[in-house]
Structure 1
Amino acid sequence: MKPLAQILESVVEHLVDQRQSSTSSLTVLANWETLAPPVWSEHGRPIRLEDGELVVALPDGATASLLRFRVGELMDAINGALETAAVTTVRVITERTR
């Protein structure tokens, strides 16, 4: 059986990790225009950042195809600005036209 102090330490570490993740997500969504490189911020819209996966909506398939090759640039810019590896993967989706 684990001592209570060890259990509490694990719980606190988990809560801190969740808080940092939530803070990073809110920061990316609220500051997209300044965090993302111009080619991304001009064309894309962040949908969510969860468990390291950033989902970005782009207006059409052509733009999505071009920017898929530049996800490293996006991740480097955001992670560099936040000074943490908040974004580990990027999923590009297209906006639905109505």
Structure 2
Amino acid sequence: MAQAKADARKRGTLPGQGKKKARVPAVGRMPGRGGDPRRFGVAIRDLLADRGWEQRAAVGGVFGNWPGIVGPVLAEHTRPERFEDGELVIAADSPTWATQVRSLAAQLVRRLNQELGQGTVKRVKVVGPATGPRRTGGWRVR
């Protein structure tokens, strides 16, 4: 028995192990996964990255956390409408608030880029409340 152990050590194996076979990955498995389950957060981040949805998800987070980003007072009078091609459109509930938010546009761009990553938001467009068409008539100044 001692002789067998000594011979096995010479070959670089332990008794009872024999030669190690090269492991062949199973067909259909994702490379590097090894079949083990992954944490949910990691799986979601990988899915977003694979599909190119990272920016959309971040912008959706801004829409969902608007009061946390701009503060409760500003959030009470404004809401994000849409985000396209680096432009965030914000709707204000009155012309006064629209003017106030326009004066804060540069600060909002900085704050949003801190949240989303530099260069994501290039411009903030502020719209006031929608009013109907103006009536024409004799009392209108020309």
Question: Does residue 67 of structure 1 match 2:101?
Answer: yes
CA positional deviation for 1:73: 1.1
Q: TM-score, normalised by structure 1?
A: 0.69
CA positional deviation for 1:52: 1.1
Residue 120 of structure 2: aligned partner: 86
- Equivalences, count: 83
- Where does structure 2 lack aligned partners over 5 or more consecutive residues? 1-50, 133-142
Q: TM-score, normalised by structure 2?
A: 0.50
The letter of the residue matching 2:125 is: R
Rg larger for? 2
Which whole-Å CA distance do the structure 2 matches of 1:38 and 1:76 have between them? 18
Q: Deviations over 1:17-43 (max 9, x none)?
A: xx2331122111111111224553232
Bigger RCO (CA 8 Å, 6+ sep) = 1
Residue 47 of structure 1: aligned partner: 81
Q: Deviations over 1:52-88 (max 9, x none)?
A: 1111000111221122111011111121123333211
User: RMSD between aligned alpha carbons?
Assistant: 2.3
Aligned pairs for 1:3-82 (under 5 A) are 16=52, 19-82=53-116
* Bigger fraction of residues in helix: 1
Query: Residues 25 and 48 of structure 1 are in contact (CA less than 8 Å); yes or no, is this contact kept in structure 2?
Result: no
Which whole-Å CA distance do the structure 1 matches of 2:107 and 2:65 have between them? 17
Q: Percent identity?
A: 32
* Bigger fraction of residues in strand: 1
